[in-house]
């Protein structure tokens, strides 16, 4: 079976960029955010988080919800971006 192409749409790219922006605004290293997500019951390594932020890995709905919780924002904030219109 051929590997599926990794196509990340505009919402996924916006979420990835927003995660990185909010993480850095909160002065969290990728490792620290990954540890917070893991502590919430969703195992995540800093490599996984790095790949999400660099749009080399899809951010699935479980990732999105737990990353948002760890960053203390609504998942909607990650989808809309840090400065929605």
User: Please, what are the domains in the chain?
Assistant: 10-77 (1.10.260.40)
Query: Which pLDDT does position 46 carry in this prediction?
Result: 95
Q: Check: CB of residue 56 under 8 Å from CB of residue 6.
A: yes
Predicted confidence (pLDDT) at residue 4 exceeds the cutoff of 80: no
For the segment 20-68, what is each residue's pLDDT rounded down to a tens digit? 999 999 999 999 999 999 999 999 999 999 999 999 999 999 999 999 9
Rounded distance, CA 12 to CA 59, Å? 7
Higher per-residue pLDDT: 4 or 48: 48
- Would the CA dihedral through 15, 17, 20, 23 be positive or negative? negative
Q: Among 5-9, 23-27, 47-51, 75-79, name the one with the lowest average pLDDT.
A: 5-9
Query: Which pLDDT does position 3 carry in this prediction?
Result: 60
């Amino acid at each position: 079976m051929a590997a599926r192409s990794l196509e990340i749409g505009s919402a996924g790219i916006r979420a990835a960029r927003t995660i990185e922006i909010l993480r850095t605004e909160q002065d969290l290293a990728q490792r620290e955010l990954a540890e917070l997500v893991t502590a919430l019951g969703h195992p995540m390594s800093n490599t996984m988080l790095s790949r999400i932020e660099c749009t080399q890995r899809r951010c699935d709905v479980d990732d999105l919800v737990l990353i948002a919780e760890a960053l203390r924002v609504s998942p909607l904030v990650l989808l809309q971006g840090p400065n929605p219109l």
